[in-house]
Structure 1
């Protein structure tokens, strides 16, 4: 928006929010995803359409914090042990993907378009990067972060985020200009290592006591301020050392992953992360130069196709080489086929250093942006692509789906539930979206239909309108909640019993319309406690009475929490486990009899 002193001070944020509020629900309704909605809104209000903003620079500076906060929350979900478990995919597969994709794309630019070797090398390696800010929200929305292809894609994204540091160093090395600052590479390396060490030591020895002190003050808003301070402090320290701000935030999150305050920190940061990440995609759309697209659209169109195809096939082939199943490899390829937001940083630095011309940089930024717009479409139509590529995704016809009970989810939990019902002669229609699980069940003579239980058309095809009951036994809480919501909206009179991950999730499911919920660990925990008492010498009758008493107390508390309406997200995050029986200061084992 043109700078003008008479413009109302809140006009700019109002325009940004209005554009997002109008575009995102529309694109979600069309099944194109929120990311495309934000990008389209940015194009509309940017300098090339309505002209409400003259440049995206001011917005992009703030929006970059969305990526920083996203990486912090990712770090909170991990810990050093999980990172070590992913080391082969991070450093092996991730490095191979960068080298292979970067090499192929660099060769194409050098020989196909006649670019100089330095320009082609920087451009190709930049195009090998994928969008963390785009892929991870898509995985979160679909509940597939912990799926095999989600973990594989995340490992490669993490390596790419770390690679931006050596790539920026490569730009400085290839620059024809004399360096503007003095100082040896050893000094720069020492500064970077010092910054990393400072973040690690602070996270290891200071953050837990720091948050504990603030928690005892009882001021919740101070905890939120402290969480933002930690994230921005770690990111700023890394930026001073010449490293990626996102890397600093990620490292801080990993160090707090085992903290007692992890869930509270995540709840405090989440609203800021979502809003700023949306602002980032708005800035991407605002920075899309429609003049460059109009002038070079044949080259850009061909470039997007080549980029997506090369990265998809390369990721698929490398993932297969590293031992991943074909379906996982191709799904990871679909997720990582676009360019990434760190490409914007790299190409801006390369243009300033004289490695790329201004026209080349603009062309590459437009190419990356357009490729990012293809990803939600690839994910949406992924199953059809998988089928056409010969992957094992069934084209289900639901012939014979006439059971009295529809069970959604046939994992370990669902298989045990099915045994109880089948023993009593209850006919079942089994629905699952895991192809390998369906194949395994078929080897034992069980007919499991392939389908996504969150889709109403799949439920109708599976006979949901004719069954006497629906059982939701899926293992991902987000998917379970979504299925219950769909069932209750479409079949309000149909009994629905759902598997709950924990107490907050059980309250959420009841609020969503489930008739009954079963917490997946409650019965096994009570049974283990009963057997522990018996093993300590308590008579079995007494142990069973204790078990029933704990069950009664838990049931009463659950009923009270439900009546008090503790089902909003803020309430659920604020819930802390409290003992039904206060522990004694010096508890002793019961005497053996």
Structure 2
């Protein structure tokens, strides 16, 4: 792609994604739906103005790294610990059921290979933290006990999704499953998620000290972006997706970060807030590029629109939703609250799209399967928040999850 073509592509992507994202938000839909739609319009499905390109793909990957960084800053390890067993129960069911339901249909009805069917099911295990949190904030429910379970389970889902993606990524590159290397990879990923945020927090103390000697404007944005790039490179070097590094850097900035030495050091929250706010404009610029690129990668002309395929697509959407809705049923609370938890787990959002994009790039799934998978993710991303908002606004009893 030449420089003039790249500049025009970025102009079209940024402008149309903003317009359609704003439009979707005004009518109560997630902005990500508008951003993907912008890619569908610009890509080969409709206008054909843009095509998948390696340069755009790299820019889109930077966008998802920054988005996962933003999610990491909103993740509370402390909240996960306190909600404990209920979070793990909801998260476990919300991972296993969609994986089994959609994976089996992908294998038997769609005729995918066992690995491709497993990948398809794994792509539908994650839950979008950002979308569910947005709905909870809009309805002023973010401090309720059910909301804590929703947030915690969504975090566990996303972490499990990133680990699953790393394992599948490694298998796709190496072509085999060996117990010891796989175990080593899992332990490496867990260790990275445990220690990278702690190291990042230590670096933040150093950066805070150096900030007193900085003379140039934009110090916070430069040092934070450098830290994100460093952690993303390290994650990739260890065999994991680079986005895991962005997530770990975000955890280092988390408002509820806990460390053994925290009681002996001055609270760095004012400085971490500066770092987070400095990165917000960059995230808002680059993250939509990833979703637009997903839309550009979709080619609706490859989607067979016969009756059987449309029926199969609807079945996949229903199974993807049912697997998450059932996740809230074992909780000890009112049925409405169980449905609220289940509905909040339905939208797949960004992590599911990351799965789909990786599967297409690595050749695990074909372009037609990729298109169908993205449509399923978009459907859950749209229907989940609508159902959740209706339940929250109509909630009249005082039962809470316990």
TM-score by length of 2: 0.78
Which residue is equivalent to 1:423? none
Change (3 A) 1:167 1:221: closer
Change (3 A) 1:255 1:288: same
Which residue is equivalent to 2:260? none
Match 2:96 to one of 83, 96, 99: 99
Matched residue count: 385
Q: Is the 8 A contact 2:124 2:377 kept in 1?
A: no
Which residue is equivalent to 1:249? 246
Pairwise mapping of residues 302-341 of structure 1 onto structure 2 (< 5 A)? 302-341=311-350
Which residue is equivalent to 1:158? 155
CA distance in 2, matches of 1:271, 1:60: 20
1:210 is paired with a residue of what secondary structure? helix
Runs of 4+, deviation exceeding 6 Å:
351-354
Change (3 A) 1:255 1:167: closer
Larger fraction in helix: 2
Cα offset, 1:332, TM superposition: 3.4
Pairwise mapping of residues 263-412 of structure 1 onto structure 2 (< 5 A)? 263-293=273-303, 295-296=304-305, 298-299=307-308, 301-346=310-355, 356=364, 358=366, 362-380=368-386, 382=388, 386=391, 394=394
Q: Mean alpha-carbon deviation: is it higher for 243-252 or for 281-290?
A: 243-252
Q: Unaligned 5+ residue runs, structure 1? A: 387-391, 395-433, 441-593
Q: Is the 8 A contact 2:128 2:345 kept in 1?
A: yes
Match 2:59 to one of 51, 55, 62: 62
Match 1:18 to one of 15, 19, 26: 15
Cα offset, 1:270, TM superposition: 1.4
Which residue is equivalent to 2:397? 436
* Cα offsets for 1:133-179 (capped at 9, x unmatched): 65555556666554555433333332232223235425755899569
1:206 is paired with a residue of what secondary structure? helix
Cα offset, 1:188, TM superposition: 4.2
Pairwise mapping of residues 181-260 of structure 1 onto structure 2 (< 5 A)? 184-185=181-182, 188=185, 192=189, 195-196=192-193, 199-217=196-214, 219-256=216-253, 257=255, 258=257, 259-260=268-269
Which residue is equivalent to 2:126? 129
Q: Is the 8 A contact 2:325 2:342 kept in 1?
A: yes
CA distance in 2, matches of 1:140, 1:20: 23
Q: Unaligned 5+ residue runs, structure 2? A: 258-267
CA distance in 1, matches of 2:23, 2:103: 38
CA distance in 1, matches of 2:110, 2:200: 48
**Computing the radius of gyration over CA atoms, which structure comes out larger, 1 or 2?**
1
Which residue is equivalent to 1:41? 38
Cα offset, 1:314, TM superposition: 3.1
Larger fraction in strand: 1
Q: Is the 8 A contact 2:313 2:376 kept in 1?
A: yes
Q: Mean alpha-carbon deviation: is it higher for 369-378 or for 255-264?
A: 369-378
Cα offset, 1:222, TM superposition: 0.8
Change (3 A) 1:316 1:20: closer
Cα offset, 1:104, TM superposition: 2.0
CA distance in 1, matches of 2:215, 2:62: 28
Pairwise mapping of residues 70-109 of structure 1 onto structure 2 (< 5 A)? 70-109=67-106
Change (3 A) 1:21 1:125: closer
CA distance in 2, matches of 1:63, 1:352: 13
